[in-house]
Structure formats: C-alpha cells, structure tokens
Amino acid sequence: MDSLFTLNGKVAIVTGAASGIGQETARLFHSLGARLIVTDIDETGLKTAAAAWEGATPHRHDVASEADWTAVFAAVERDYGQLDILVNNAGIMMAKPFADAGIEILRRQMRINVESVYLGMQGALPPMRAALSKGAATTSIVNIASVYGKVAGAEYAAYSATKGAVRALSKAVASEMALTGVRVNTVMPGPVATNLGARWDPPRDADGHLIPPEEALAAWARMIPMGRLGGTADIAPLVAFLASDAASFITGSEFIADGGYTAV
C-alpha cells in the first residue's frame, strides 16, 4: 500500500521551480524518486536549486512562449521518451485597483497564468500517452490556481480572472481526458509567503501610499483562521499526492489549502 505514495521512476515536469511552491514541489518529488525536468525563466536561480536534486534536468523556460514549451517537450522525448506528471506552477500576481488597471495588466497575467497552462497540457498529452502505453496506471497534471479564483480579492480582479480560468480549463480537460488515463486536478493555495507575493507591487493605502509587502502579508495572516500564512511545505505534499497513484481515481477536482481562509 505504501508504494502508492511513491513517485519512484516517474518522469515529472515542474514549472516555476526556481523558488516558492515550485521549488518545494520539485524537492519533494525528488525525495520521492521522480525523475525531474525543472523549468523557470530565472535560469540562475533554477540552476542553483536544481544542483541539490541529483539527476534533475533544468531548462530556462518562459511559460508564455509556445517555442519554449516545444523545446521542453522535445527534450522530454529525447531524454525520457515519456511523461508521467506535469505541474503547471509558474505564474505571476499583480495588484492594481480595477479602475486603474489597464488591459495589459489582464493580458500579461493571462499569458503567464492561463496560456501557459493551456500550452503545457496540450504538449503533455503525447508523452503522457507514451507513458500509458508503457504500463503507467494513470498520468497526472496538477495546475496551481489560487483561492482568488474562487473568492474575491480586492485589487486582484485580473489575477482572479486568470485563476478562475485555470479552474474551468482544468475541469474541461479533465472531463475530456477521463477515459484516456490522463488525470487533471487543481490546487488552490491561500495566501502563501513566497516570492510570488514578494515580487508583486504591494497595495496602496487610502492616501495612495504603497503598503510595504511585510505589512500586506501580515494583514493577510490576520484574516486566516489558523493565524498564519501558508508555507510552501503546506502545498507541495498535496501536489505530490495528486501526482501519485494514490490519487488514481481523482480527476477534475479542486483542492484548497488555505488555513481556513475561504471557510469564513
């Protein structure tokens, strides 16, 4: 029974693996025996992280680029001949009052948060079919969305729209692929202390002054029933479960990890 929770020998792509949830997911996958292809636009950070995962193959990867996805899947075909797991984790979060948010705020996040998931899932199908033809029970796609795709986030209208799109896209593909052995599920983290949060422009107060990131994150923590922000180690085990054969009857589902944020 314990073997259900191993990823031993499975070939896995994790995007956005240079930091945050992606890095912790890749670390955990490696410890569970996965053969890793890790990608990020931050090539230096990715190589530093990947150095700790023996046998991991790092690729500089702009997830909004169709050409970059083609190159990643060509490398998978050349080096492994199959794919068992895809974690679409890379994304950006941009805060802007809706009245002041130009269309490019939406377009940029759509390209990185939604088009990347679309391209990744489409490109994953041929090597996943190869894995199934070689005897894999199922293959797994895990898309990282957000609780802001489920509930409102002040000044995150565009971001919320993209994460809501990831939820719907994941369900649609899961339904279409259900008989093929390709499973698709969504993880929706609540506020997590990662570089994603550190890099966005923090919100402004009523007088238009920027609120420092640490203050914004502390305000979020006060709204979480468990009294703290999530950590990357709170999210990665859920992703690993969905990637494993222990989740072989789970597809088209959504999993929230938010310390109770959306329960109140």
Pairing of strands 35-40, 85-88: unpaired
By C-alpha distance, which of 15, 21, 12 is closest to 61? 15
Which residue among 80, 148, 156, 159 is the active-site one?
A: 159
Q: Is the pLDDT of residue 249 over 60?
A: yes
- Kindly state the helix (H) or strand (E) to which residue 131 belongs, with its residue range: helix 116-133
Angle between helices 66-79 and 116-133 (to 10 degrees): 20
| pLDDT score, position 154 | 81
Determine the Cα–Cα distance for residues 139 and 118; give it in Å rounded to an integer.
Answer: 17
Alpha helix (H) ranges present in the chain?
20-31, 43-50, 66-79, 103-110, 116-133, 157-177, 195-199, 213-222, 232-243
Average pLDDT over residues 17-24: 97
Confidence of residue 69 (pLDDT cuts 50, 70, 90): very high
Report the DSSP beta bridge partners of residue 88: 143
Residue 88 is classified by DSSP as E
| pLDDT score, position 42 | 97
| pLDDT score, position 202 | 59
Q: What percent of the chain has pLDDT over 90?
A: 84
Residue 34 is classified by DSSP as P
| pLDDT score, position 15 | 98
Average pLDDT over residues 65-89: 98
Determine the Cα–Cα distance for residues 49 and 43; give it in Å rounded to an integer.
Answer: 10
C-alpha dihedral, 57 to 58 to 63 to 69, nearest 10°: -40
Angle between helices 157-177 and 103-110 (to 10 degrees): 30
- The CATH architecture of the domain made up of 11-202+231-256 is 3-Layer(aba) Sandwich (3.40)
Determine the Cα–Cα distance for residues 131 and 83; give it in Å rounded to an integer.
Answer: 6
Give tens-digit pLDDT for 102-133: 999 999 999 999 999 999 999 999 999 999 99
| pLDDT score, position 200 | 54
Confidence of residue 61 (pLDDT cuts 50, 70, 90): very high
Tokens, residue 176: 């279409």
Determine the Cα–Cα distance for residues 229 and 234; give it in Å rounded to an integer.
Answer: 10
CA atoms within 13 A on the CB side of 243: 34
Determine the Cα–Cα distance for residues 103 and 105; give it in Å rounded to an integer.
Answer: 5
Secondary structure of residue 141 in the 3-state scheme: strand
Give tens-digit pLDDT for 124-178: 999 999 999 999 999 999 999 999 999 998 889 999 999 999 999 999 999 999 9
Residue 212 is classified by DSSP as P
Average pLDDT over residues 2-10: 89
Q: What percent of the chain has pLDDT over 70?
A: 96
Report the DSSP beta bridge partners of residue 36: 12
Determine the Cα–Cα distance for residues 121 and 27; give it in Å rounded to an integer.
Answer: 22
The rounded radius of gyration (Å) of the Cα atoms in the chain is: 18
Q: Catalytic annotation on 159?
A: yes
Q: Is the pLDDT of residue 65 over 80?
A: yes
- Kindly state the helix (H) or strand (E) to which residue 254 belongs, with its residue range: strand 254-257
Average pLDDT over residues 9-32: 98
| pLDDT score, position 198 | 45
| pLDDT score, position 2 | 60
Tokens, residue 55: 């046998």
Find out whether 138 and 250 touch, Cβ atoms under 8 Å.
no
Give tens-digit pLDDT for 180-215: 999 999 999 999 887 545 445 556 777 878 888 778
Mean of per-residue pLDDT scores for the chain: 94
Determine the Cα–Cα distance for residues 217 and 210; give it in Å rounded to an integer.
Answer: 13
By C-alpha distance, which of 91, 90, 17 is closest to 56? 17
Compare 247 and 1 and report the one with higher pLDDT.
247
Listed by start position, the domains of the chain span: 11-202+231-256
